[in-house]
Structure 1
Amino acid sequence: MLHLNLFLMGVGHHEAAWRHPATDPARLADIGHFQGLAREAEAAGFDSVFLADGVEARPDTAHSLASHFEPFTLLAALATVTSRIGLIGTVSTGFTEPYNLARQFASLDHISRGRAGWNIVTSAGDLAARNFNRDANQEHAVRYERADEFLEVVTALWDSWDDDALLLDRASGTFADPDRVRTIDHAGRHFRVRGPLNIPRPPQGHPLLVQAGSSQDGRGFAARWAEAVFTAQQTLEEGQEFSADLKRRAAALGRDPRHVVILPGIVPVIGSTDREARALDRELDELIVPHRAVSVLGDVLGVDLSAHPLDEPLPPLPPVTAINGAKSRFELIRDLAERERLTLRQLVGRLGGGRGHQVVVGTPERIADHIETWYVRGAADGFNVMPPLLPSGLTAFTEHVVPILRSRGLFRSAYEGSTLREHYGLARPANRYARDTDPVAGVAG
């Protein structure tokens, strides 16, 4: 069955969403806004909501939006007003410690009764590094090496308590069985962690592991660890290649490739007619501040575009090997510009709606056709839905696209499970240390 995730992003994914009359930018700091979005997505049967995150402010504060909530605070608040939808938050392995993160996600999984997921990123660029006692970020390959060891430690900490370690025997005064709570004694290149975690094992065993990155290093990392992958692909052929490659890599590591769920981002610009949808798309693009969009694009590409004419193609770009930031996004933008022979003005317009994710403009039927095509032709197991305006874009999707998907037998009409792993059809992981753990406990029906 098709998987749908709602990507939460302020008042919309289009970079000019806050300027559009259909949104209220004051609600960026209103928890009720985000709680309403989560409830609406849950009512529509979405698998999860997802919150991106960064730990830096862009220098162009005159035109860029500030984040008001960090993931754990916001997702815990969403957990209190929902009961079934998954809650996925982004945390970088580059700017935290495994023990802190393991404890935070275990807490969120307990608070939500088994609905937590971690979107694992390694953080590109140097702005964030300068907030953490560094002048520059680590090299791309080193970031993934650190991330790999980070996952080893975190998953071991989640397993440091057996599922039945809590005895709560008031008569004998025994709270937990000390033989079923253990140190992990990890000593590696990047981390030394004794353990155990100071919170019992999460309800899901391990919160769902999600990854967003399509470079060669990112694909290798995802093949080993990821259970869902958020990706940006522009064409059906690129989507098919990415999905097939990642599932092949997972199988080579002894994993079931069906347990790696591929979720490209999609920005659905919806109208009752194609003409109406195109008009909304134009409205949004006309609200883009060009020099701000050009500055952001230049940062991604590693080229100063501030003096480049808007109505000419991109200047020569550096090789991808020279990029220490988001390599896969660099390649996506470069290929898009070359394939469609876009001018700089056209390119920032194309990227303004989804930052490299596919933008589909049209009627609900056209949106549903696109989703179905990618799904049945093996380019996606579902989609990371990125409405250009919030909440109106989500409402248009849930009220008009979701019913079509259901009528075609592609999407659930009701939840069958209660945990995020169950929504994705994934087993609850066995505890690597426990002697009596059932390795298939928690398999979704």
Structure 2
Amino acid sequence: MNRNKKQLKLGAFLPGSGHHVAAWRHPDAQADGGLNFQHYTQIAQTAERGKFDMLFLADVVAVADRGQGTPASSRLGQFTVYFEPFTLLSALSVVTERIGLAATASTTFNEPYHIARKFASLDYLSKGRAGWNLVTSSTEAEALNFNRDRHMEHSLRYDRALEFFKVVTALWDSWEDDAFLRDKASGLYFDPDKLHIPDHKGEHFLVKGPLNVARPPQGYPVIIQAGSSEDGKNLASQTAEVIFTAQQTLQDAQAFYADVKARVVQHGRSPDHVKIMPGVFPVIGRTEQEARDKYNQLQELIHPQVGIALLSSMIGADLSGYEVDALLPDLPETNGGKSRQRLLIELAHRENLTIRQLYFRIAGARGHWTIVGTAAQIADQLEEWFIDEGADGFNIMPPYLPSGLDDFVDLVIPELQRRGLFRTEYEGATLREHLELPRPVNQHHLTIVEQQRSTIKVPV
């Protein structure tokens, strides 16, 4: 029985062929899914049929194997080439009506004006359904594509990200909501008293403004953050309204949840206005054995070189020279994704895993939570995490597409609805309404007291 009156939130995390590293090889997968718009139309509409809060697209501005031309590079499948997210989400805004449309955009390899303009435009195209996953990027390969010979230092990336957020929100607030009169009789297009030029001068950015898009329908597109390092949690507690995270156990999820919610309160924000959504990789069967057979079929499709390449990329060290059936060696701290490296090292040590066993464990969920079972078994575990304060919802990672998403929508969601844990119909039209997030007040209207109570506290 559901002991919680609240309902959980669901994101559909949709890479072209699916999340498993060998997904594109599965007989039911769309092998060219990353560049197939008809495929994306289908899965977006399936997610909307399931009443998901949003669909989400990740992005890395480099080829997944760092472009080194290794033998594994020809076997990485859907992680090699795929649509640029803004272009794809703009197209999907036309073929969907209610589901939120969220994507990653790096603060390390973009400029604030570009991001403010693109997300404001997407919010208008979708009538208030845009969401921005604010990330700092984590791979050396990306740096090599943007006039750098190495990646920016971890702490510096987060300093830049915080200032980036401040500039973007100031640009979104360039215009008050009712600034544009378009009065044909007087010839007055906008009220000049309702224009606010940011004129930002900071450590990382000089941005005059104003933005050449009116204030977005949602005020700000929903802000998402995915870092779980100390720097990442500090940034998220000040800026994020949704936090994507990777946790392996309920105990770890509860600790992360309590930590981040406490930090949010310390920054003068309501913990109810920050939704924590761990990633979940569900393999669903009508029986437990069918689910295990599906999972084993995927695991058998992993090429060893791909497994090593994936693990090396995620853990921040080249493991190709080590014995694959040996235990994970001691590794130096990475300048890439620190939280994911720590999660993988702790997993290997906790379960005494060899390199091969570790890449098998992450080949699907890449460090996120894997659940293999029936719809009822999966719903049981999601309900436990939700009720016991390990999560406000989940970012669902189908193993292969389109079938993996079909299974979740047709089997798991009805079970969650039966328990009163998830909506049966959309009640709102915007992503903020789906997630029960208030619309931010334009910062130029805020008094000092109101600033302390604001949904999003803009850093100063």
Mapped partners of 2:289, 2:326: distance in 1? 28
| Superposition deviation, residue 152 in structure 1 | 0.4
Is the counterpart of residue 346 in structure 1 residue 352 in structure 2?
Answer: no
Is the counterpart of residue 86 in structure 1 residue 100 in structure 2?
Answer: yes
- Percent identity for Structure 1 against Structure 2: 53
Post-superposition CA distance 1:219-260 (Å, at most 9, x none) = 000000000000000010000000100000000110001111
| Superposition deviation, residue 323 in structure 1 | 1.5
TM-score by length of 1: 0.96
Do the aligned partners of 2:16 and 2:30 also contact (CA within 8 Å) in 1? no
Q: In the alignment, which residue of structure 2 is the partner of 1:291?
A: 305
Q: Helix, strand or coil: the match of 1:378?
A: coil
Aligned 1:298-377 pairs, distance under 5 A: 298-318=312-332, 322-377=333-388
Which residue of 216, 219, 232 corresponds with 2:230?
216
Do the aligned partners of 1:180 and 1:434 also contact (CA within 8 Å) in 2? no
Q: Helix, strand or coil: the match of 1:359?
A: strand
Do the aligned partners of 2:316 and 2:337 also contact (CA within 8 Å) in 1? no
Which residue of 12, 19, 41 corresponds with 2:18?
12
Q: Residues 314 and 30 (structure 1 numbering): CA distance in 2 closer, same or farther, change over 3 Å?
A: same
Do the aligned partners of 1:428 and 1:441 also contact (CA within 8 Å) in 2? no
Mapped partners of 1:259, 1:268: distance in 2? 27
Any stretches of 5+ residues in structure 1 without a counterpart? none
Q: In the alignment, which residue of structure 2 is the partner of 1:32?
A: 38
Q: Helix, strand or coil: the match of 1:168?
A: strand
Q: Which amino acid in structure 2 is aligned with residue 241 of structure 1?
A: A
Aligned 1:131-146 pairs, distance under 5 A: 131-146=145-160
Aligned 1:239-250 pairs, distance under 5 A: 239-250=253-264
Is the counterpart of residue 173 in structure 1 residue 184 in structure 2?
Answer: no
| Superposition deviation, residue 307 in structure 1 | 3.0
Structure 1 stretch displaced more, 424-433 or 61-70: 61-70
Structure 1 stretch displaced more, 396-405 or 293-302: 293-302
Q: Which amino acid in structure 1 is aligned with residue 221 of structure 2?
A: P
Q: Helix, strand or coil: the match of 2:350?
A: helix
What RMSD in Å do the two structures reach over aligned CA positions?
A: 1.6
Q: Which amino acid in structure 1 is aligned with residue 74 of structure 2?
A: A
Q: In the alignment, which residue of structure 1 is the partner of 2:57?
A: 51
Mapped partners of 1:39, 1:249: distance in 2? 36
Post-superposition CA distance 1:162-200 (Å, at most 9, x none) = 000010111111111111112111000000011100110
Structure 1 stretch displaced more, 274-283 or 209-218: 274-283
Q: Which amino acid in structure 2 is aligned with residue 27 of structure 1?
A: G
Count residues with an aligned counterpart.
438
Mapped partners of 2:316, 2:188: distance in 1? 59
Q: Helix, strand or coil: the match of 1:433?
A: helix
Do the aligned partners of 2:292 and 2:373 also contact (CA within 8 Å) in 1? yes
Do the aligned partners of 2:310 and 2:359 also contact (CA within 8 Å) in 1? no
Post-superposition CA distance 1:83-141 (Å, at most 9, x none) = 11100010000011101110000000000000000001100121101111110111000
Which residue of 158, 161, 168 corresponds with 1:147?
161
Any stretches of 5+ residues in structure 2 without a counterpart? 1-6, 456-460
Q: Which amino acid in structure 2 is aligned with residue 15 of structure 1?
A: V
Mapped partners of 1:375, 1:361: distance in 2? 18
Mapped partners of 1:61, 1:353: distance in 2? 18
Q: In the alignment, which residue of structure 2 is the partner of 1:386?
A: 397
Post-superposition CA distance 1:310-347 (Å, at most 9, x none) = 222212222xxx31100000011011111111122111
Structure 1 stretch displaced more, 25-34 or 108-117: 25-34
TM-score by length of 2: 0.93
Q: Residues 292 and 201 (structure 1 numbering): CA distance in 2 closer, same or farther, change over 3 Å?
A: same
Q: Residues 302 and 199 (structure 1 numbering): CA distance in 2 closer, same or farther, change over 3 Å?
A: closer
Q: In the alignment, which residue of structure 2 is the partner of 1:61?
A: 73
Structure 1 stretch displaced more, 199-208 or 273-282: 273-282
| Superposition deviation, residue 67 in structure 1 | 2.9
Runs of 4+ off more than 6 Å: 438-442
Q: In the alignment, which residue of structure 1 is the partner of 2:431?
A: 420
